[in-house]
């Protein structure tokens, strides 16, 4: 049952007004923030209008703002907090390390254990290096691929976010009208301030379209250092790669001698060994972030021995590729990361996957009952609510989302006591109960009923 654009706008205005009324303290804090931060913001991914909530504390599955509003958290700091907020094992590890010191000018035993845990879990990791963000992870993995291959070009999928550096801030959310043919998209710079030359060192391929992706890759094979891909596309609402797409990329890159990089900054949630275990596809290099740091700033990249050896400072003449960082492998993050990975057993991942399946199906049932022009995407513990009747499998189908309808759902869920990303993507943590999943679904139904019910139908 479709709604007219004006009806969606009216429902959105009503949800916004309710939100403003519930969050006076956050509104005041945001006005204060604007005195010191551009627009009151220092992190675009958690900004939304008319103002974001300001958090005072969190525990388990719940987050509390400065107005005292308690919400069940289904974004978990953009998929980071897989165990939920303030998990006892993580807090104990941080407290213990805090008593010993927060950072040192030398490595600690913890970082060795952290590396061992990562390499033991992930099929592709012979060696790993730690950094402080997913952005740093992809930056360094791409640099490694270029150094190893002697080539400079990169291929990525349209609509994929791989961090905030010039090599990949291209065709992330392009205007479809400026992005050319969907079968072989044009490279579109994401933001002002980038050198136009950035677009000359990358080629864009469609997601989940092996035939056309292969054509793009083969056309540029002699120039390509690497192909980078998210096994689960977070930018487009947790859209999973179709197995044959990843399998085809692996065969193709192997045949052509091109390195394949998996960006598992989000997708490492898929199973104990990450998305590559989940799909049974082994890349040459993998990038990590989010969950591996237990809630602290983190990133990592690793893979084949011959590629990772380029970073080895103990070899004659030093490393072939330089890489420093004051907080790489810092002991506080290592402590939280080790504690988190220890907790993430096969059973925990199986439970997360079952909860994710349960939630996605229940949301689809509500959408079908109300006959809303919407859908649900996701895999494992990840999900996305799509405000389009189209089946979302790539950027072009994702771009058909009704932005007002998405915002209406986001605001409505906030008003109901549930926190998602502002694009209505979310994830299940180990702290969530089935009662909370059911509560989320019921709240989603109420939000849609307020909109569709207002039509008198």
Among residues 151, 156, 290, 423, the one annotated as catalytic is 290
DSSP three-state, residue 147 = helix
Enumerate the β-bridge partners of residue 131.
Answer: 299
Among residues 65, 263, 284, 402, the one annotated as catalytic is 263
Distance CA 38, CA 41 (A): 6
Instruction: Please give the torsion angle defined by the CA atoms of residues 218, 219, 222 and 224, in that order, rounded to the nearest 10 degrees.
Output: -80
Angle (nearest 5°) at CA 9 between 8 and 14: 100
Distance CA 351, CA 447 (A): 28
| Neighbour-count burial of 81, counting CB atoms closer than 10 A to its CB (0-12 exposed, 13-18 middle, 19+ buried) | buried
Q: Is 434 one of the catalytic residues?
A: no
Distance CA 87, CA 339 (A): 10
Q: Is 263 one of the catalytic residues?
A: yes
Among residues 161, 278, 398, 418, the one annotated as catalytic is 161
410: number of CA atoms within 13 Å, CB side? 24
Q: Is 357 one of the catalytic residues?
A: no
355 and 428 Cβ atoms separated by less than 8 Å: yes
298 and 111 Cβ atoms separated by less than 8 Å: no
The token pair that represents 303 in the structure block:
């893979």
Say if strands 224-229 and 70-73 run parallel, antiparallel, or are unpaired: unpaired
Task: Give the residue numbers annotated as catalytic, written as ranges.
Answer: 161, 263, 290
């Amino acid at each position: 049952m479709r709604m007219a654009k004006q009806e969606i706008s009216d429902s959105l205005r009503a949800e916004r007004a309710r939100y403003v009324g519930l969050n006076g303290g956050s509104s005041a804090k945001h006005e204060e923030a604007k005195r010191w931060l551009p627009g009151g913001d220092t992190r675009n991914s958690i900004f939304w209008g008319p103002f974001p909530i300001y958090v005072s504390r969190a525990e388990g599955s719940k987050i509390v703002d400065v107005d005292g509003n308690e919400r069940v958290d289904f974004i978990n700091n953009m998929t980071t907090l897989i165990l939920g907020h303030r998990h006892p094992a993580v807090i104990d590890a941080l407290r213990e390390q805090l008593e010993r010191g927060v950072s040192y000018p030398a490595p600690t035993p913890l970082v060795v254990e952290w590396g061992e845990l990562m390499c033991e879990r992930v099929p592709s990791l012979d060696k790993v290096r730690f950094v402080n963000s997913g952005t740093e992870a992809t930056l360094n993995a791409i640099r490694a691929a270029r150094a190893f291959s002697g080539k400079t070009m990169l291929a990525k999928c349209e609509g994929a976010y791989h961090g905030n550096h010039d090599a990949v801030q291209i065709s992330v959310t392009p205007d479809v009208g400026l992005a050319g043919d969907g079968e072989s998209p044009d490279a579109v710079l994401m933001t002002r301030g980038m050198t136009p030359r950035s677009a000359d060192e990358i080629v864009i391929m469609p997601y989940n379209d092996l035939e056309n992706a292969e054509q793009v890759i083969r056309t540029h094979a002699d120039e390509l250092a690497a192909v980078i891909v998210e096994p689960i596309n977070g930018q487009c609402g947790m859209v999973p790669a179709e197995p044959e797409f990843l399998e085809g990329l692996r065969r193709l890159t192997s045949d052509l001698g091109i390195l394949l990089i998996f960006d598992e900054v989000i997708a490492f949630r898929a199973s104990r060994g990450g998305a590559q275990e989940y799909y049974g596809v082994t890349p040459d290099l993998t990038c990590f972030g989010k969950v591996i740091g237990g809630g602290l700033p983190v990133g990592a990249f690793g893979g084949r021995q011959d590629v990772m050896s380029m970073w080895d400072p103990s070899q004659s003449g030093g490393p072939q590729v330089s890489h420093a960082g004051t907080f790489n492998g810092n002991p506080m993050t290592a402590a939280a990361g080790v504690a988190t990975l220890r907790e993430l057993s096969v059973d925990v991942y199986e439970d997360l996957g079952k909860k994710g399946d349960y939630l996605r199906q229940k949301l689809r049932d509500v959408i079908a009952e109300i006959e809303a022009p919407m859908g649900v995407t996701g895999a494992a513990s990840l999900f996305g609510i799509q405000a389009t009747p189209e089946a979302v499998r790539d950027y072009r189908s994702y771009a058909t989302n009704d932005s007002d309808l998405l915002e209406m759902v986001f605001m409505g869920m906030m008003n109901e006591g549930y926190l998602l990303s502002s694009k209505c993507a979310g994830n299940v943590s180990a702290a969530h109960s089935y009662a909370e999943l059911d509560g989320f679904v019921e709240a989603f139904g109420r939000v849609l009923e307020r909109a569709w019910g207002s039509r008198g139908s």
